[in-house]
Structure 1
């Protein structure tokens, strides 16, 4: 059985997640993976998520006149590889998510066009030209959010709150992949799911702060909701309704973000057909005892699960990530001294230089805590954040000559 893997992350171990398939895996990866000798074919491709080399190589392998490879599965953990994986499946008639399905989950404007047939979405418009933005603002007023339709990690997003912001935005180079939508005040929730025939896993959570606030220096994080919390059921119902109108594959993983408005409505922020990023997988592992990627990939390849999710967790978990500031890192604290701290990781060390946050998950260190529900988790994250802030030290930004 030959499995094509298009990998983005640096910590994925496909041979560990799928030992039954490792010897037949053809792996193309953007980041080096441990022990590549375990795979049938392994190539480190520096720009794997953007360059089409993987498609060329896989199609050549499949059509080799002397020794053609018959791929039975195509796996990718990388959002930027979803459409590429879909094209390969379509071309080689391999089961799984098609290119057309992947595009709906990647293109945020197309996504909202389709999703609006089932759930509420913010007012939005695709931007072909700058006057399209002026027209949207004239109709909707400020604030508005301008963002690329296929970007991730809250990169390259602009919030325009006034005419001065618009003027500043107009001095930036125009892009052909932009959309605009109304700014939605309120909280942002997220939902993580793996769905397959005869299998359904859903976990819900709330972001500690807005992903956009990270670029203003705020710390980021998330708390899981206990399944008994009322909002958990509301989010699950929203997801079920949404999935009915989207071209979802038979086996899929999903990361859904939902606005909870000040007048208690739920609006779609966006949904991706992959596992949630940042520390969401760690929160799921601590709370439900499963690895989201392993669960997704084993179901997608027809393998039995090695772990079943906990149905009624005793505690849930939350995470706080300390956002880096521009300059030299002077001191990074160890674990906060609380018995409800479950895990603490330092991603930068004293002496490292930082340019500040480059995406919504940028951090100096992160800490996972446990609690009975999301309310207790938020209280503990506030306490944890205060302790970390006292013990974390950045130097002054370096002056450019």
Structure 2
């Protein structure tokens, strides 16, 4: 008979740094009295790997599939004792984590289940079969793109496994399709093509138990998610009570009902066009930017902790119903060069969180995806208008000053 007092051995795949696996008070999401952690972390984050719960630490390039697999297999059998769970919260590692679980015979999300939240073709095929309105789409080919373009004003080519709003191409003419195909010859199999939905982009972030939403918060992107390409901030504001919020939450529950075995966290993006809601994509992860801070402020649940709890225990923390106040965030970008001045938010009680990701003297590169920010600031307010005014105040206060440097 197994010892019920034995700590569960958790093999954690990490890219963001081990300091993120705790709350603001320093409480670990994997406390040492219940878990022993075998960490596989990124080479540039190994310095953050501290904690009594850590049993073993290996640092590799986590996006090198062979190096990651070798590290995981080593950690899975550390000291001759088999790991109990394999956990990952970073979007780009979720599918690889599922593959490695399969190799090791560990419980958790399978490859087939992970693909429904990672591969944009698989996810839309699945939801269309369940009656969800999705854009017209196809695996990319020039013929498929031209045929779809003949029936709509524009099409979008994007990587099937993409993240970070990177490599998104809007194609409006047959010549655009040909130019895209010529420029991406070696990668065309990685792309899908879908109808361009000219509407507002929203997202719903949820904590889910067995496909039932326990709490969800909806928000609207004020700016394009690709605003990093223009070095402009990307602002986001929660949707207040009313018919639109009700419709977004109902659509979100319908989508999750198509995943009856799912427990965890979802970040669901959707379009609203002339009152119609159209699915965009869904991930089995916490949203980026200031989503975690806003969700915590309104429900008391840290979404990253909920992801870990779901993967380790099969349950999620029970959130409280969303509070009446609203939240929002702004993601701030800077051009290439050396940052000259510190980035500090307004000294106001309505600032929920400020993630400063660059400091004076840092040499910056031009952002390549929406995650390449210099700062992310989350705020709260009593209404959407108040939240937006406060986000604009942050933007006026935190203007990056960059010099070319030498």
| TM-score for both structures, normalised by structure 2 | 0.84
Q: 1:217 aligns with which of 231, 246, 249?
A: 231
Correspondence for 1:317? 327
SS at structure 2 position matched to 1:200? strand
Deviations 1:266-313 (Å, cap 9, x if unpaired)?
A: 1111001111122211222233222111123224433997x7533241
Question: Judging changes above 3 Å, is the alpha-carbon distance between structure 1 residues 340 and 51 closer, same or farther for their aligned structure 2 residues?
Answer: same
Q: Structure 1 residue 111: deviation in Å? A: 0.9
Q: CA deviation at 1:2?
A: 1.5
The 3-state SS of whatever aligns with 2:65 is coil
Matches within 5 A, 1:328-339: 328-336=338-346, 338-339=348-349
Go from structure 1 to structure 2 and tell me whether the alpha carbon gap of 1:314 and 1:362 turns closer, same or farther (over 3 Å shift): same
Moved more, 267-276 or 36-45: 36-45
Find runs of 4+ consecutive structure 1 residues off by over 6 angstroms.
Answer: none
Cα distance in 2 for partners of 1:43, 1:388 equals: 37
The reply on whether 1:75 has 2:87 as its aligned counterpart is yes
The answer as to 2:312 corresponding to 1:301 is yes
Give the match's secondary structure for 2:183: coil
2 CA distance for matches of 1:312 and 1:250?
22
Matching of residues 7-18 of structure 1 within 5 Å? 7-10=14-17, 11-13=19-21, 16-18=28-30
Structure 1's 268 and 304: CA in aligned 2 closer, same or farther, altered over 3 A?
A: closer
| CA displacement at 1:149 relative to structure 2 | 0.3
Cα 1:388–1:180 change in 2 (3 A) is same
Quick check: 2:49–2:57 contact (8 Å CA) kept in 1? no
| Structure 1 match to 2:384 | 374
- Please show how residues 40-59 of structure 1 align to structure 2 within 5 Å: 40-46=55-61, 48-59=62-73
Structure 1 residue 192 corresponds to structure 2 residue 205: yes
* C-alpha contact 1:281 1:292 (8 A) present in aligned 2: yes
* Change in CA separation of 1:121 and 1:62 when aligned onto 2, cut-off 3 Å: same
State the match for 2:301 in structure 1. Answer: 290
Query: Secondary structure at the residue paired with 1:293?
Result: helix
What residue ranges of structure 2 are gaps of 5+ in the alignment?
1-7
Contact 1:329 1:353 in 2 (8 A): yes
Q: Tell me if the contact between 1:341 and 1:367 (Cα under 8 Å) persists in the aligned partners.
A: yes
What is the distance in 2 between the residues matched to 1:52 and 1:101? Answer: 23
Deviations 1:209-252 (A, max 9, x none): 121232123211322234x3433322221121112224x54422
Local SS of the residue matching 2:215? strand
Q: Which residue of 1 aligns with 2:137?
A: 124
The CA deviation string for residues 357-390 of structure 1, in whole angstroms up to 9 with x for no partner, is: 211133232322211233432233234324434x
Report the number of matched residues: 387
Contact 2:145 2:155 (C-alpha < 8 Å) held by counterparts: no
CA contact (8 A) 2:77 2:83 kept: no
1:239 alignment counterpart: 252
Instruction: Kindly indicate whether the alpha-carbon contact (under 8 Å) linking 1:186 and 1:260 is maintained by their aligned counterparts in 2.
Output: yes
For structure 1, the 5+ residue unaligned runs are: none
List per-residue Cα deviations over 1:302-349 (Å, max 9, x = no partner).
3997x7533241422111122212334333442225553333343223
Pick from 159, 167, 170 the counterpart of residue 156 of structure 1. 167
Q: Distance in 1 between matches of 2:405 and 2:193?
A: 35
Q: Summarize deviations over 1:118-141 as a string: whole Å, max 9, x none.
A: 3111121111x4344333323434
> C-alpha distance in 2, partners of 1:147/1:189?
18
Q: Distance in 1 between matches of 2:262 and 2:398?
A: 43
- SS of the aligned residue for 2:123 comes to helix
Counterpart CA distance in 2 for 1:347 and 1:92 is: 36
CA RMSD of aligned residues (A): 2.9
Q: Distance in 2 between matches of 1:157 and 1:80?
A: 17
**1:156-175 deviation per Cα after TM superposition (whole angstroms, max 9, x unaligned):** 11222346644653452321
> What is the match of residue 394 of structure 1?
402
Q: Partners in 1 of 2:370 and 2:250 — Cα distance?
A: 27
Which of 181, 184, 209 aligns to 2:194? It is: 181
From the superposition, tell whether residues 217 and 182 of structure 1 become closer, same or farther in structure 2 (CA, over 3 Å): farther
Q: What is the CA–CA distance in structure 2 between the aligned matches of 1:58 and 1:352, rounded to whole Å?
A: 33
Distance 2:123 2:161 in 1: 10
Identify if the C-alpha distance between structure 1 residues 182 and 398 changes in structure 2 by more than 3 Å, giving closer, same or farther: farther
